[in-house]
Amino acid sequence: MDHESQFSLLIDSNEEAFGAICTALEAIGAQEVTRESALAGSQEIGWRQYEIGHERVVLQSETYVGVTLFGPVKLVSRLAAQIGRSRDSGT
């Protein structure tokens, strides 16, 4: 993935936020292709890579940093809008 086509969405770190992004990814037919995690002292880092058609996004959760989604601008923007609609409707 080149930097010109990348976008990241950063939100507060919590299980609800991570779950909302996972739900949005599943809703558009994303397939999880990689899941990894690491622990460094008191900091936990987890990431998942998803494939949607020919595009890939990486969802990362890091203690003290938050939840970040990296991927193509249009795709991440679409997911951000979907997550926002979900939060607004309370689902």
6-30 confidence digits (pLDDT tens): 667 677 666 777 888 888 898 889 9
Q: Of 90, 91, 68, 65, give the one whose Cα is nearest residue 80.
A: 68
Domain-by-domain residue ranges, the chain?
A: 3-86
Length of the chain: 91
Superfamily of domain 3-86: Hypothetical Protein Pfu-838710-001 (2.40.320.10)
The pTM of this model reads 0.78
pLDDT computed for residue 5 by the predictor: 60
- The three-class DSSP label of residue 64 is coil
- % helix, strand, coil for the chain, step of 5: 35, 45, 20
